[in-house]
Structure 1
Amino acid sequence: MAFTLEQLRGFVAVADELHFGRAAARLKMTQPPLSRQIQKLERAVGAQLLERDNRRVTLTAAGEVFLTEARRLLALADTAPEVARRVSSGSSGIVRIGFTAASTYGILGGLLNDLARELPDVDVDLAEMVTREQVAGLLDEEIDLGLARPPFDAESFGSRLLHREPMLVAARTGHRLLELGRPVTAADIGAEPVVMHSPTRARYFYDLVVGVVPVASENAVHVVSQVLTMLWLVAAGRGIAFVPASAARLPIEGVGFVRLATPVPEPVELHLLWARQSRNPALRRVLEVLERHTVSA
């Protein structure tokens, strides 16, 4: 047999007042139906919750324990509709964000701070993923929002340009390229050993670089997917690397940076990306907050 919220409220009122008459008055009802509520509750629970006689009412040991749970259940019942409304409106809930490692260099932190300030009841779960993993995660509903590199399927995804930046050449301190006093061109690279982006794990940067600086296969001394790994290899003197300008925020000793001359001054793009079929109401609110972070295309 199940008990009702009205029975719980009746029990809590009697436990607070330790008097059926005062409890009934508090609940704006008469004493007989309140007594029947308590009897039905005790039958449903299968234990005596109150000791009562003509002089006083006291809680049994079972009643003391049940009172704590009754208060918790009533609190949940009172707050559940508001929680449901907040989730439905998107003012609370969970948004799972996938991000590329390079997007953490100055972009992700500020974005999370703004979300925490303007949507404090929306929890954010983070997952580091390359763009192709984010695309799969969005389609499989493993994440709600990506910070990813183009291009994207416009039919499946909504996207918004979040950030644009130049490409830099990273070289060991004292390298001749750092002393040119101007942006580096393809002609300046020559036969320099290069720590290159992976054509599979970092396809966006790979395509961007080879479109500007044709790198001969024999000059690619290492092929990696993460910018931080590139910079450590540059610091070790293994070669130069081509990295987004935000990577210069990383304080890697022994590494300097110079701008790479590119046809488009700021060719590196980072986009917000989401599945058009997403049913997460909190995602809409997050996108509204992040609207002011986007740059003009």
Structure 2
Amino acid sequence: MLTLDQARAFLAVAEERHFGRAAERLHMTQPPLSRQIQKLEKTLEVTLFLRESRGVRLTAAGEAFRDECRQLLEMAERAPRRARLIASGQVGLVRLGYTAASGLSVLGPVLARIKEAAPEVAVELHEMVSAQQLESLRSGAIDIGLARPPFQLEDVESSLLLTESLVVAVPSGHRFAQRGGSVSGWELRHESMIMYSEQARYFRDLVADLVDVHADQVAHTATQILTLVALVGAGHGVAVVPRSIQHLGMPGVEMVPLHESPPDVVQLHAVWLSTSTNPALHHVLPLLEDPVDAAFSMH
């Protein structure tokens, strides 16, 4: 088996093309170096050098072996450093779960923060609703999520990334959009509503707290916010959605402020397990301590 000392000795001779100079470089005398190279050639059953009066010359096999030895030594030098970087979390993989709506707001800025401060940490993305993210945290399928509260899971920690208001998505040309200003929940009582299904309980409950929606108003229900907006664009009704959805720019849909909505009623958190042993996760967590500025504006 080739040792690192043998590789260094061979490479010194290969680069110096002279046993004497190679021995000086290795801080040893020439005879043991010559014996070491002879032993290596015997072990490999290959002639690596052609001995000449003024030095040595590599054989074809020697040139190929030289290239392999260089790679071997470079890897040997990198390995300890990489191990230290992985242990410190500066190199590694973070699996991140995110909701479709968060992909329109905080996901981009979060990835930018990680790329800038931890460029050697790879981020693997998984789109899933908040409930699935919590299940995936528990099973170990993801390391961190961008999810909506509540987080009723042992050892879950969270950091608030974004707050925003709710707005009313209406078809283009709708009277609410034409008149300007906000719309009240009371004004929605005669509208066909696209509502959230049981699987989207967070937004369903938020809307129910602000708007009195009767069962006979509900035209359709859906889990994904993007589906609600698409149904609005297709003329099936109006929907109450988070303000960040305006960045989607879906044709045929306009956003109108909801009068009853507080500016911070919608929350999005980074969530993770405090028991995680992934060094890369703990390296990026400080990057998520401050909220993301989504720079929302209504038009």
- Please give the TM-score of this superposition, normalised by the length of structure 2: 0.89
Measured after TM superposition, the shift of residue 39 of structure 1 is 3.5
Structure 1 gaps of 5+ residues are none
User: Against the structure 1 CA distance between its residues 45 and 167, is the aligned structure 2 distance closer, same or farther, given a 3 Å change threshold?
Assistant: farther
For 1:121 and 1:164, the matched residues in 2 are separated by 30
Judge conservation of contact 2:163–2:263 (CA < 8 Å) in 1: no
Q: 1:124 to 1:45 in 2, by over 3 A?
A: farther
1: distance between equivalents of 2:18 and 2:216? 90
TM-score where L is the length of structure 1: 0.90
1:32-181 paired onto structure 2 within 5 Å: 32-153=31-152, 155-178=154-177
- 1:194 matched to 2:180: no
SS at match of 2:163: strand
Change (3 A) 1:192 1:49: same
Amino acid at match of 1:222: H
Q: Does the 8 Å CA contact 1:167/1:268 hold for their aligned counterparts?
A: yes
Alignment of structure 1 residues 247-266 onto 2, 5 Å? 247-262=245-260, 264-266=262-264
Is the contact between residue 186 and residue 212 of structure 1 (CA under 8 Å) also seen in structure 2? yes
Could you tell me whether the CA contact under 8 Å between 2:189 and 2:213 is conserved in 1?
A: no
Contact 2:149 / 2:267 at 8 angstroms: preserved in 1? yes
d(CA) in 2 for partners of 1:58, 1:226:
70
- Secondary structure of the structure 2 residue equivalent to 1:293: coil
- Among 209, 213, 216, the residue aligned to 2:214: 216
Give 1:249 shift: 1.5
Aligned-pair Cα RMSD in Å? 2.2
Residues of 2 paired with 1:178 and 1:18: CA distance? 82
Contact 1:160 1:271 in 2 (8 A): yes
Aligned residues between the structures: 293
| Deviation beyond 6 Å, 4+ runs, structure 1 | none
C-alpha separation between the residues in 2 aligned to 1:222 and 1:120?
44
Letter in 1 for 2:8: R
Partner SS for 1:37: helix
Which residue pairs with 1:15 in the alignment? Answer: 14
1:156 deviates by 2.2
2:195 aligns to what SS in structure 1?
strand
**Is the Cα contact below 8 Å between 1:98 and 1:145 reproduced in 2?**
yes
Aligned residue for 1:113, secondary structure, equals helix
Aligned to 1:206: 204
Counterpart of 2:297 in structure 1 is: none
How do residues 229-248 of structure 1 correspond to structure 2 at under 5 angstroms?
Answer: 229-248=227-246
Where structure 2 has 5 or more consecutive residues not aligned to the other structure, the ranges are: 294-299
